[in-house]
Structure 1
Amino acid sequence: MSLEFCRQVLSLDPGIRFAGVANPGGKLLAAEYREGLSPLLDRNEVELAVARTVLHAMEDDEALQGKLGKTAYSITTCEKVKRATVPFHDKHRRILLVSFDTSARPGPIIRKKILPLINSELGWK
């Protein structure tokens, strides 16, 4: 996934602040912020947060997938931002990380806009 993919995610809804793609090791492969946005975290903090988020998501997915099924997405609500992780479930095991304004509704945005984009990008229906 490329910077262009991150830009496509950002274009899906005005409530999306950030889109990034990480590998299973927690390394950010591509990322983009909404134009004109002042990030809440500096680059080092973003890298640390991405690593922690991805590792946590991967551990949860592996530990519970057999009984609960694959994770479709996960949303965390903080005081200043809402964050979501969306696994690609492809052979590379990448994860999309998205942050939203607090007024945004991440669930419907993910289900109606982001998941169809991912499926299209991966050639799935």
Structure 2
Amino acid sequence: MQTHTAQQAFEYYAQGWATANFQLFMEMLTDDVVFWLPVGKQRNKTFEYEGKQQIMARLQARSSRGDRLVLSSPDQVTSNAVTVTFEFTSQGTVRNQPFQGRNLISFDIKDDKISGIREYFGDID
């Protein structure tokens, strides 16, 4: 069941990046969800967003800037008792620049909801 929940969340997350509508993804999150961004432009820092409202504000800000990505189907999926991790590629526009990335996203599952997210986005050389 945990893998099914995470797979559905990944599909809604990908749909949100493509369409700028993250509503279905947001409905899968616990109220106290935590989202960590430990790499990227903020290398050597960890940005943490707590709760649905902060996460939705972040995603809406990205969408209003015109950031759009197409996420590939996962190449690899790994899981343990709590976490499911997807490895995939993405391409599109970020900060008005073309972007291609090799990515990981991990979802922690609690009571069939997403309680934690860790996202690792890296550029493809």
Please give the TM-score of this superposition, normalised by the length of structure 2: 0.29
Structure with greater strand share of residues: 2
Structure with greater helix share of residues: 1
